[in-house]
Amino acid sequence: MWRLAVTADASVAEAYAEALESMAAVVSIYEVAPGPNPGVAGQPEDWATDILMSGQCVIEALFEAPPATEDLTSAIAETAATLRQRLPPLAWGELSSDTDWVTESQAHNPAIRAGAMLVKPSHVEQAPPAPHVIHLDAGRAFGTGGHATTHGCLMLMQRLGQEAQPRRIADIGTGSGLLAIAAAKLYRRAHIVASEIDAQALEVAAYNARANGARMECVVANGWRHRTLAHGAPFDLILANLLYRPLMRFSRQMAKRLAPGGALIIAGLLSGQERPLVQRFRSYGLILEARAGDKDWPSLLLRKPAGGLGRFQAFPSYPSENAR
C-alpha cells in the first residue's frame, strides 16, 4: 500500500481530495494535530468532510499499486491553479502490508444525516432515528455520505421525491452504491441501474445493496457503454456524482437518455465550474431547476422539459447534520 499526503488549508482540502478520488483506493481528510508536532495528521474526529474546518489539513490518498506520481502531481497542480494557489507540500511513502489501510482509514467515519436520510457505518453503535436508514461501509469504494457532493445529491433527491415518483433510474459511477440505495428507499417501485467502471467497487455496491434490502441492477460500464443502460433508456432520473470532466464528456449522452420531464442530479464540480456545465446542458435542452449543497461544492438538479420551461429554485445550503 502506498500513501500520498497533501498539506493544505482546510478551506480547500475537499478540492484536493476530489482531484485524487478517481485515482486512489480511498481519500481521507484529517485535521493537522496541534502542538509540538506541526504537520502531523491527528486522528479523525467525529465530523464529516463537508464541514468547513479551520487551520491546516492533511489530505491522505491510499493506493494499492505504486501510483503514477506524475499524473497525481499534475492533478494536484491543476487544482492548485484553479484555486489560484501554489502547489501544496506533497509527501510520498509506502505503508506496511500487514494492515488493511483502506478499511482502517474509514473506521472513524461518523453517521451522516441528510434530511430524512441517515447513513450509518457499522462501527457506529448509536444514532438518532430517521425515516430512512442506510447501513453502509464504503470499504474500497467512494461514497460514505460525508462529502458535500453526496450530501447535496441526497437532499435534491428528497426534494424531487415530493413531486414525482420516477420509475426508471440510472446511477452513473455509483461507487459504494449510496445514491442508488437511497433512490431505492425513496422510490420503491423504481427499476434502478447502478454502473461503475471499477469492478471491485461495484462488488462493494452490490453487497451494500443486499445489506439494505435495495433492489438494483449493478453493471460494470465506462460511462454509458453497456447494453442494460442502452435498453433501459429513457430514464426518469439520472444520478451522476462524478467529476467535472466526466460530467462534460457524458453530458450529451445523459441529456439524450433522459426522458421528457425527467430529472438529472449531478455533483462533483467546483462552484467555478457550474456555469460552463449548466451552459453545456442548456445547449442540449435541459434547464437548471434547483441547487443544493454548499457554496464550494454545488449539487445541481436539471430537468428536460416535458412541455413549457420550468422555473429555477434556489434551495438554501444544507450543512451536514452529523449524528452524535
pLDDT digit string (tens) for 8-46? 887 788 788 888 887 887 787 766 544 444 333 333 333
Mind listing the pLDDT tens digit for each residue in 74-113? 999 999 998 889 999 888 887 666 555 555 555 556 778 8
**Predicted pLDDT of residue 310:** 44
- The segments of the chain whose pLDDT lies below 50 read 33-54, 139-142, 144, 308-324
φ, ψ for residue 131, nearest 5 deg:
-60, -35
Q: Is the pTM of the predicted complex or chain greater than 0.85?
A: no
pLDDT at residue 299, rounded to an integer: 94
Q: At what angle do helices 69-82 and 13-21 cross, to 10 degrees?
A: 140
- Answer whether 283's CB lies under 8 Å from 70's CB: no
Confidence at residue 320, expressed as pLDDT on a 0 to 100 scale: 37
Residue 153 contacts residue 212 (beta carbons within 8 Å) = no
Domains and CATH numbers, the chain: 2-105 (3.30.70), 112-322 (3.40.50.150)
What b/e sequence results for 222-256 when a residue is b if at least 16 CB atoms lie within 10 Å of its CB, and e otherwise? ebbeeeebeebbebbbbbbbbbbebbbebbebbbe
What's residue 258's pLDDT? 96
